[in-house]
Amino acid sequence: MFLLANEYLLAWSAYGIAALGCLLVWLRITRPLWRWLREPLRLIVAVLLLTPTIVDPAKELFAPAVAITMLDLLFKVGSNAWRAVADLALYGLVVFAIYAVFAVIRWLFERRVKQQGSQSRHEDPRTLRERLEDDDEDLRPTSRYQARTEPRL
């Protein structure tokens, strides 16, 4: 039994490393896409690669849901395909619900920042020349070696 447990952990470790490698490649592939398309595609692949499903309820053995679905459909053995598809759908629904909440909060935040930025730009109707003429301080360097002017806050 001890040897079987080690093989089970070794198989999951190998699958985890391979799945993370595939996920990193997918992140790289989807990098140039538009953000509202890129993020859902990344979530779909993450759910497909990282969703486990139970294979043997008596022994509590799990396997990747995509692998179980493909093997059951390809070889037409076992009845675990529907359970794996249900697990994929459930995990996908939960992940996309969390993502939708996150996306709405982010959208509201970005919209608020954009409105505040447009308001701060239009506060002073004077031109740059008028603003510089009204300043009391002379911002020109006092010596020829003092060429850097620090911005005022």
- Domain assignment present for residue 65? The answer is yes
Of 5, 49, 53, 59, nearest in space to 23 by CA: 49
CA distance 14 to 81: 22
Residue 146 has pLDDT above 80, yes or no: no
Largest pairwise CA distance in the chain: 86
Q: Are 88 and 69 in contact (CB under 8 A)?
A: yes
Range of the domain at 63: 2-117
Convert the pLDDT of each residue in 50-107 to its tens digit.
999 998 878 888 999 999 999 998 988 777 888 999 999 999 999 999 999 999 999 9
- Domain assignment present for residue 126? The answer is no
Give me 140's structure tokens: 């020109």
- Domain assignment present for residue 57? The answer is yes
Q: Record the pTM.
A: 0.70
How many folded domains does the chain comprise?
A: 1
- Domain assignment present for residue 141? The answer is no
- Domain assignment present for residue 96? The answer is yes
Q: Are 43 and 51 in contact (CB under 8 A)?
A: no
